[in-house]
Amino acid sequence: MDINILLLLQEFRNGAGAFLADFLNKMTFLGELNTVMLVMAVIYWCVSKEFGTYLLMGWSGNRLVNGVLKVTVCAYRPWIRDARIIPYGDSIKTATVAAYAALKPYPADFDAEGKLLVDGAKMANDTFKSVGWCEAFLIGWILERRFVRFTTEVPVTTKLIRLVLGVLGFYLISLILVPLIKEWIAGAGGSVVSCFVQLFYVTFLFPLLAKILKN
């Protein structure tokens, strides 16, 4: 059933031409984890703390559930299951609790060229990331409510300052600190710690900094 739906969508893609396909392929950056997290962070810091909290809670919980389901099912990608499915662009390259993910067995099926069809290590790593994000939200949320209690009911100029400083800090952590952590801590530990630091900055560290600076 799902293969038939994908084939219909593939026919639409092929009939629409390369322009639409290229546009949609480039627009997938909006669904990248860092982009989604940053949008939620800006809402949390500058627009509505309550709504941003719900978004971050739902997203981190969803990532954890998704990770557990992914390593449990270990489903093959559609183009592996049916050769009629032809992925567009870089889809093949970009498509992708902790103890369970690390210890459970994974399929060891290979294609005709000897390539592993399901990469258990990558699936487990995605789940480790989810664990880090979920822990960061819970701990950061509790600490913020207890020690910071910032508000988004502030002047527009303050919101703009928060926006600039918050986004800058987020990218410094994501582009510099996260890769360093992964170099210092190998394997699953690096994934958990780096993702924890990333979302902990969003939920607690930047709100704390904003309150200290009275922004």
Q: Does residue 14 form part of some domain?
A: no
Structural domain count of the chain:
1
CA distance 112 to 109: 10
Per residue in 10-58, pLDDT (tens digit) is 565 566 555 555 545 544 444 467 888 999 999 999 999 999 999 999 9
Q: Does residue 63 form part of some domain?
A: yes
Q: Does residue 151 form part of some domain?
A: yes
Instruction: Note down the domain range covering 167.
Output: 29-75+97-212
At position 188, the amino acid (one-letter code) is A
Residue 138 · residue 97 · CB < 8 Å: no
Q: Does residue 135 form part of some domain?
A: yes
What DSSP element (H or E) covers 183?
A: helix 178-184
Q: Does residue 7 form part of some domain?
A: no
Per residue in 131-157, pLDDT (tens digit) is 899 999 999 999 999 999 999 999 999
**For residue 18, what are the contacts with CB-CB under 8 A and spacing of at least 6?**
none
- The pTM (predicted TM-score) of the whole model is 0.72
